[in-house]
C-alpha cells in the first residue's frame, strides 16, 4: 500500500460534496521533500492518470531550472499531478500551456483574483508571482511514459511569510483578496478544471487551449527581454504558434519562436 493515501470529505452532506474524477484522486500528505518526487514514485508504481499529491509542506520544493520554491507549512497548494498523455515527447511543452490555463481559470472562478499567465509557466497578479508550474517527463525508447505537473499556488501567505528578498516579487491569494482560501477545495477545483481541459486537448488539439491561454495571458502584446546566443534581446511577444511556441518580434526586426527558456516582462 502506498504511503500517500486519499482523503475525502466527511460529515453532513458528505455524499453531495464528495468529489469525482481527478478531484477524487487527491492524496494529502504532511511533509515531503517535494511533491514532484512523491508523484513520480506513485507514477512508477502504476498510479492512474489524474493521481495527485498535495503536501502541507515541502522541504525541498523546486521550480524551473532547479530554483528553490518557497512552500511554508499550511500556507499554500503544493501539488503534483500524474499525466499519461499519448502524445509525442516533443509536444509536452504544450501541457505547460494547458496547465497554466486550467489553474488560472480555477483561481479566477473560485477566488475572484484576476491572475494572468506569464509565459511559460507563471501566474501573476499585478506583476507579482502567485503561482508556478513545473512539468517533468519520463520517456523510454518506446515513447513518453508519464508527465508530472507540479503546481505551486501561494494561497494563505501573508507578507511576513515571505523572505525579505521575495516580498516585492511574490504575492498570494490572501494578500490579493483579503481573505483566506480553503486550500483543499481550490486544489480539487484545479484538478477538475485540469481534467476538463486535458480532455479537450486530447480530443481537439491545442487550438482551444491556446485561445484560452491567450485570453488569460499577460505576456502577449508586452515588451519582453529574452536571452539569445548573441546576448539579451528586447522584443514584443506577438502570438502563439500553432504548435504552442511563443513568437517574439525582436527590435532588430527578426522574429524568434520560443519553446523553452524564460523571458522578462519590461
Residue 218: closest CA among 263, 260, 253, 154? 263
Determine the average pLDDT of the residues in 182-211: 98
For residue 5, is pLDDT > 90? no
CATH of span 223-265: 2.30.30.100
**DSSP β-ladder status, 231-240 and 263-265:** unpaired
- The CATH-assigned architecture of domain 14-216 is 2-Layer Sandwich (3.30)
Question: pLDDT per residue over 147-177, tens digit each?
Answer: 999 999 999 999 999 999 999 999 999 999 9
- Give pLDDT tens digits for 56-109: 999 986 655 555 668 899 999 999 999 999 999 999 999 999 999 999 999 999
d(CA 102, CA 191): 8
**Minimal CA–CA distance to 73: which of 91, 60, 86, 55?**
55
pLDDT of residue 11: 46
Q: CA separation (Å) from 138 to 83, 167, 216, 266?
A: 11, 35, 29, 35
What SS3 state is found at 16? helix
* The predicted structure's pLDDT at residue 8: 41
Confidence label for 17 from pLDDT (cuts 50, 70 and 90): low
Predicted confidence (pLDDT) at residue 245 exceeds the cutoff of 80 = yes
Q: Which residues pair with 214 in a beta bridge?
A: none
Q: Is the pLDDT of residue 213 over 90?
A: yes
The confidence score (pLDDT) of residue 1 equals 41
**DSSP string for residues in 161-206:** GS-GGGTTTB--HHHHHSS---HHHHHHHHHHHHHHHHHHHHHH-S
Task: Say yes or no to pLDDT of 13 above 90.
Answer: no
Inform me whether the pLDDT recorded for 225 exceeds 60: yes
List pLDDT tens digits, range 31-57: 999 999 999 999 999 999 999 999 999
Q: Beta strand pairing status for 52-58 and 26-32?
A: parallel
Which residue ranges make up each domain of the chain?
14-216, 223-265
Say yes or no: do domains 14-216 and 223-265 share a fold: no
pTM comes to 0.91
214: which residues sit within 8 A by CB, 6+ positions away? 220, 239, 240
Residue of 192, 184, 188, 190 lying closest to 74 (CA atoms):
184
Amino acid at each position: 500500500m502506498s504511503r500517500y493515501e486519499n482523503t475525502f470529505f466527511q460529515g453532513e452532506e458528505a455524499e453531495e460534496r464528495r468529489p469525482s474524477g481527478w478531484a477524487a484522486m487527491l492524496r494529502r500528505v504532511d511533509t515531503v521533500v517535494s511533491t514532484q518526487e512523491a508523484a513520480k514514485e506513485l507514477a512508477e508504481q502504476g498510479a492512474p492518470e489524474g493521481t495527485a499529491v498535495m503536501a502541507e509542506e515541502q522541504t525541498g520544493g523546486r521550480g524551473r531550472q532547479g530554483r528553490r520554491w518557497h512552500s511554508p507549512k499550511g500556507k499554500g497548494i503544493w501539488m503534483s499531478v500524474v499525466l499519461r498523455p499519448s502524445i509525442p515527447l516533443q509536444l509536452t511543452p504544450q501541457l505547460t500551456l494547458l496547465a497554466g490555463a486550467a489553474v488560472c481559470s480555477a483561481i479566477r472562478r473560485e477566488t475572484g483574483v484576476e491572475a494572468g499567465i506569464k509565459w511559460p509557466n507563471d501566474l501573476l497578479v499585478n506583476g507579482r508571482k502567485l503561482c508556478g508550474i513545473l512539468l517533468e517527463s519520463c520517456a523510454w525508447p518506446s515513447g513518453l511514459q508519464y508527465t508530472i505537473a507540479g503546481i505551486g499556488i501561494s494561497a494563505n501567505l501573508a507578507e511576513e511569510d515571505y523572505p525579505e528578498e521575495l516580498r516585492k516579487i511574490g504575492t498570494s491569494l490572501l494578500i490579493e483578496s483579503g481573505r483566506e482560501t480553503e486550500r483543499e477545495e481550490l486544489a480539487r477545483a484545479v484538478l477538475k478544471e485540469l481534467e476538463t481541459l486535458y480532455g479537450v486537448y486530447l480530443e481537439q488539439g491545442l487550438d482551444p487551449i491556446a485561445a484560452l491561454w491567450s485570453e488569460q495571458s499577460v505576456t502577449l502584446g508586452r515588451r519582453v527581454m529574452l536571452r539569445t546566443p548573441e546576448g539579451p534581446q528586447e522584443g514584443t511577444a506577438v502570438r502563439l504558434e500553432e504548435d504552442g511556441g511563443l513568437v517574439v518580434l525582436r527590435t532588430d526586426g527578426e522574429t524568434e519562436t520560443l519553446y523553452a527558456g524564460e523571458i522578462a516582462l519590461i
